[in-house]
Structure 1
Amino acid sequence: MTIQVSPSPIANSDAMSLRSAVLDRDEYLTGLLNQLTAQKAEGWLQELRQHAVKWVRHSTIPTTREEEWRFTDLSALRKVQFQAATQFIPSEISSLTLPEAANSRLVFVNGVYTPDLSAITDLPAGVIVSNLTALPQAEQEHISQYLAQAEGAEEVFTALNTAGLTDVAVVVVRKNVVIETPIHLLFIAVGGDKPTISQPRCLVVAESGSQVTFIEEYTNHKDTEGKVYLTNAVTEIWLAENAQVSHTRVEREGAEAFHIGKTAIAQARDSRYTCNAITFGGKLSRHNLEVLQTGEQTETTLNGLTIIYGNQLADTHSAIALNHPYGKSEQLHKCIVGDRAHAVFNGKVFVPKPAQLTNAAQLNRNLLLSSKARVDTKPQLEITADNVKCAHGATVSQLEDDEIFYLQSRGIDENAARNLLINAFAAEIINQIPVASLRETLLTTVNSLKSSHD
């Protein structure tokens, strides 16, 4: 005779609680996950999402006890209960578009592709600029070998983005194709009566011998100023042998917004990648910029500019892994910090033993406009190769009285002299942007920011 003993309801409850505690380590993060996974996908995309869900359920929101987040406190974020953003179509966005990219623009509003505001015409053969769901099935499956395959895919906010993935801004440039027209990927946030979260995603694939310039821009609709929302963005960029990518990333979210962004780049042999990262907006913003060298003789140029005022916090974390010989990287990141704002820069360059004859330089320059402004900077080199040329450094300064006096002696009043010096400090980065209309817009934004905080 076999006697069956029913499990105790209490024991069952305890076991379920234990499994829940193991899987859902962070109640707040689980709440975000539930909001973002309500919409299902199919096939390989659903499998990709399910894998990311598992990572998220084993993760927690970072705290200042973790070294990588020591200066960026997310407790204000945790106090906000976000809900998934809904689709919204603005009546017009002419002030946000670029004339150079009039026929090569993808627009996403609250993370949702908006064809009525996009414009994709007259692109040369061998160039794909589209959202993922509009691509043929064969092309989607080709894309699957790149999407969410970059290093660092398990990082909590990156995995959260993948877990809720429904669509992607996709740029593919085929072998030996050179596209002269810049491509504009525009992500517009429209806040609602309640705090919302959206998760834009970009994938750029430059095949061997190709060249492309693209602008990735995050902004808010004019009626959204003052609204609380979270943008959790991820961009993956793959450069094949001898490919060349010029990438400009602009973040100018609303004053009460949270922005967390990840840019992951993989560079094959002889490829050249340039990033111009501009940060103006957001109550709290964080950009993780990670470059992985997968072949010899790559060139990497990272230019960054952060301008913040009030109580803003802007954090830039970069990591360049030069794993092969003859690599070259140059990084210049500048911060202009006013009022009680707080800027963070942490840049790492890894040069292991196989990466002989590497040439790497890294510099962080900071300009404080107020006695209460703050910057935490930590440039780092980790080198085990013995035949390299590497340098790094950081400076923190204020506007020099001698320079202001010199300009005043030439008939320029004090306020104009200060503005001229600030403009010159910012222009070194902005002038590297290859799109003229965007350069002009950003210089105007610099002036308007100064004027509103004088």
Structure 2
Amino acid sequence: MTIQVSTVPEVGNSGVQGTIDRAAYLTALLNLRPALTENLAWLQLIRDQATSRVQELAIPSTREEEWRFTDLSALLQVNFAIANRSPAVRLADIQPFLLPEAANSRLVFVNGNYAPELSAIAHLPSDLVVTNLETVSQDSALRDRLTNYLATQPGFEEVFTALNTASFTDAAVILVPRNQAIATPLHLLFVSTAEDAAQLSQPRCLVIAESNSTLTFIEDYVSLGQGVYFTNPVTEIWLEGNAQINHTRIQRDHTAAFHIGKTAVSQTRDSRYTCTAISLGAVLSRHNLEIYQMGEQTETTLSGLTMIAGEQVADTHSAIAYTKPHGTSQQIHKCIVDHRAHAIFNGKVFVPKSAQLTDARQLSKNLLLSAKARVDTKPQLEITADNVKCTHGATVSQLDTDEVFYLQSRGIDEYSARKLLVYAFAYEVISQIPIPSLQNQLTAIVRTQKARQDN
């Protein structure tokens, strides 16, 4: 399904182009990158290397296997400008998105730029690093430590990842010292404010959990404006020996927005990574989630929920790459698709000969609420090891009429019965989020789902 920009009334004065060369369009996006300040000059080499990579690439088309279900033509129709670096955003404006559990552990970025007046980090432990790159630049020892991690994850050559690396001027930075268990969840809130002109922002996150440390954090993308914008975020996560991270990623951009995000995770021996990813917003979105198990006895747990309607397109591409024995992973991804929306899921698991005794389980479950809703799902295992336990599966269904009838027989009207079944379908994923207030926010969104069934 091709999304026509003309169906998005918020485009306004952003401009519509005809057929455009995909390499030229990517170059135009690259040319929007802002200059570095003097304090951040140490990033120049990283950005230059990524720039060279971008100059060899083009915006992907549906002729490429990894993008064959996701047409980026609508993105190519919009002329973007660099996002406003200093919009007038007050604490009251973001109040609906704040989490009581993270009232004193919050980093806020507006259009990709750090907003210290909206953040709250003063009462965090002194040895816990929760800051932005500009502040890191003032500490040469810390800067040198971070250089070993920043922009070094596998997969850095992917086109949108490289574009972000070539362009970013700031980042959220979290470094948990060894042997530290951080009980308070950290909230990384990324706010977009586009109104009239279409805007481009490219947020960045760097999260490092040193050995024997524990961290829970929320990565949250929201909008205050009603205009068209393109968010191209990259998050790099590193888990050292026996570290544990619980990561919740929420994408609830405005429905006129474009969102293409990357999460790259490297795990060493005995580490445990849990990710719950929720995709609700944007007219076109994609999340590339890549896990690299670099040590023995690593554990990965992934839960995903996509809930879309109207003309939305939402794509999730995940990959779990084993390299050592005794690794485990469990993944479930659910899609709820209504109206003419289109969901895509592609989940890969790579098990080479060096990864004997692997236990990998993957399941894709999809619920279509309309006769015109569409889902393309492809669980995929690539195994060359001969002593493993690996399973995968996929289901696509509509609401069960027998289940609806059963609830009606208990005095529940048909509309409420459908809503209840949709909620039950989504709750398996939402319940994995360890933040009660965020669970409640998302539950309220799910309960507003129309839950109808076209014939």
- TM-score, structure 2 normalization: 0.92
Residue 52 of structure 1 corresponds to 50
Runs of at least 5 residues in structure 2 that lack an aligned partner in the other structure: 1-20
User: C-alpha separation between the residues in 2 aligned to 1:315 and 1:82?
Assistant: 22
Contact kept? 1:176, 1:210, Cα under 8 Å: yes
User: C-alpha separation between the residues in 2 aligned to 1:453 and 1:367?
Assistant: 11
Contact kept? 2:418, 2:451, Cα under 8 Å: no
SS in structure 2 of the partner of residue 255 of structure 1: coil
Residue 301 of structure 1 corresponds to 301
SS in structure 2 of the partner of residue 450 of structure 1: coil
User: C-alpha separation between the residues in 1 aligned to 2:150 and 2:62?
Assistant: 30
SS in structure 2 of the partner of residue 119 of structure 1: coil
CA RMSD of aligned residues (A): 1.5
TM superposition shift of 1:323: 1.1
Cα shift readout 1:407-445 (whole Å, capped 9, x = no counterpart): 000000000000000000000000000000000000011
User: C-alpha separation between the residues in 1 aligned to 2:452 and 2:79?
Assistant: 31
User: C-alpha separation between the residues in 2 aligned to 1:400 and 1:366?
Assistant: 13
TM superposition shift of 1:193: 1.4
Residue 211 of structure 1 corresponds to 214
Identify which of 31, 36, 39 aligns with 2:33: 36
User: C-alpha separation between the residues in 1 aligned to 2:254 and 2:441?
Assistant: 17
Q: Is 1:144–2:147 an aligned residue pair?
A: yes
Residue 349 of structure 2 corresponds to 349
TM superposition shift of 1:138: 2.0
TM superposition shift of 1:282: 0.3
User: C-alpha separation between the residues in 2 aligned to 1:252 and 1:27?
Assistant: 30
Contact kept? 2:370, 2:452, Cα under 8 Å: no
Residue 327 of structure 1 corresponds to 327
Cα shift readout 1:350-402 (whole Å, capped 9, x = no counterpart): 00001111000000000000000000000000001011000001000000010
Instruction: Letter of the 2:251 partner, please give it.
Output: E
Q: Which protein has the larger Cα radius of gyration, Structure 1 or Structure 2?
A: 1
Q: Is 1:193–2:196 an aligned residue pair?
A: yes
Contact kept? 2:367, 2:398, Cα under 8 Å: yes
Contact kept? 2:351, 2:358, Cα under 8 Å: yes
User: C-alpha separation between the residues in 2 aligned to 1:425 and 1:451?
Assistant: 11
The structure-2 alpha-carbon separation of the partners of 1:77 and 1:40, relative to structure 1 and needing over 3 Å to count, comes to farther
SS in structure 1 of the partner of residue 152 of structure 2: coil
Runs of at least 5 residues in structure 1 that lack an aligned partner in the other structure: 1-23
The structure-2 alpha-carbon separation of the partners of 1:317 and 1:177, relative to structure 1 and needing over 3 Å to count, comes to same
The structure-2 alpha-carbon separation of the partners of 1:365 and 1:453, relative to structure 1 and needing over 3 Å to count, comes to closer
User: C-alpha separation between the residues in 1 aligned to 2:449 and 2:107?
Assistant: 28
Contact kept? 1:25, 1:57, Cα under 8 Å: no
User: C-alpha separation between the residues in 2 aligned to 1:219 and 1:453?
Assistant: 29
User: C-alpha separation between the residues in 1 aligned to 2:322 and 2:88?
Assistant: 43
TM superposition shift of 1:449: 3.7
Q: Is 1:176–2:179 an aligned residue pair?
A: yes
User: C-alpha separation between the residues in 2 aligned to 1:452 and 1:379?
Assistant: 28
Residue 15 of structure 2 corresponds to none
Instruction: Letter of the 1:30 partner, please give it.
Output: T
Identify which of 165, 169, 172 aligns with 2:168: 165
User: C-alpha separation between the residues in 2 aligned to 1:355 and 1:452?
Assistant: 45
User: C-alpha separation between the residues in 2 aligned to 1:160 and 1:85?
Assistant: 15
User: C-alpha separation between the residues in 2 aligned to 1:166 and 1:240?
Assistant: 26
Q: How many positions carry a matched residue from both structures?
A: 428
Superposition pairs for residues 383-398 of structure 1, below 5 Å? Answer: 383-398=383-398
Instruction: Letter of the 1:424 partner, please give it.
Output: A
Instruction: Letter of the 2:165 partner, please give it.
Output: T
The structure-2 alpha-carbon separation of the partners of 1:371 and 1:299, relative to structure 1 and needing over 3 Å to count, comes to same
SS in structure 2 of the partner of residue 334 of structure 1: strand
SS in structure 2 of the partner of residue 120 of structure 1: coil
User: C-alpha separation between the residues in 2 aligned to 1:389 and 1:243?
Assistant: 25
SS in structure 2 of the partner of residue 269 of structure 1: coil
SS in structure 2 of the partner of residue 394 of structure 1: strand
Superposition pairs for residues 297-446 of structure 1, below 5 Å? Answer: 297-446=297-446
Cα shift readout 1:46-98 (whole Å, capped 9, x = no counterpart): 11001111001111100000000000000110110101001213122111110
User: C-alpha separation between the residues in 2 aligned to 1:37 and 1:167?
Assistant: 11
- What is the identity percentage for the equivalent residue pairs of Structure 1 and Structure 2? 61
Contact kept? 1:266, 1:292, Cα under 8 Å: yes
Q: Is 1:105–2:99 an aligned residue pair?
A: no
User: C-alpha separation between the residues in 2 aligned to 1:414 and 1:146?
Assistant: 53
SS in structure 2 of the partner of residue 35 of structure 1: coil
Contact kept? 1:267, 1:295, Cα under 8 Å: yes
- TM-score, structure 1 normalization: 0.92
Q: Is 1:71–2:66 an aligned residue pair?
A: no
Instruction: Letter of the 1:89 partner, please give it.
Output: A
